[in-house]
Structure 1
Amino acid sequence: MPSEAQKRATTKYVREKVVQKQVRFYPKDADLVEWVESMEEPFAAYIRRLIRDDMRRSSSNRL
């Protein structure tokens, strides 16, 4: 069980260092929601992997 000081430190860290982005899926995007929910990987991990893959492709295209 974390102490009160640890809870405060964690809250401060999250407030100062963590970036959150919200994604909305409208009814016309139901196929996207269905697809991502069928993945073995958690949503956030899936999105991070897609972005990293895109970054690698983009940087290799610049050479």
Structure 2
Amino acid sequence: MATEAQRRALNNYRKKTKSIVVRFYPNESDDEMHAWLKSQENTTEYLKGLVRADMEKSGIKA
């Protein structure tokens, strides 16, 4: 069980960060995408890189 200080620290961290959840359904294409993402060394950096590349392609500075 977390201490009161740990709970406060976690709440503070959650307030400062943003998150997006992606859900995959049990079908062939989603299973393949999920497996691909899980095989990446750093999923967050991989996804951010894809978004940056798409933004640059669209003429938006990342």
Say how many residue pairs are matched: 53
Against the structure 1 CA distance between its residues 16 and 38, is the aligned structure 2 distance closer, same or farther, given a 3 Å change threshold? closer
- In structure 1, runs of 5+ residues without a counterpart are none
Report the TM-score, using the length of structure 1 for normalisation: 0.65
For 2:33, the equivalent position in structure 1 comes to 32
Report the TM-score, using the length of structure 2 for normalisation: 0.66
- The structure that is helix-richer by fraction is 1
Letter in 1 for 2:32: D
Against the structure 1 CA distance between its residues 56 and 10, is the aligned structure 2 distance closer, same or farther, given a 3 Å change threshold? same
Structural RMSD (CA): 2.0
Question: In terms of Rg, which structure is larger?
Answer: 1
- In structure 2, runs of 5+ residues without a counterpart are none
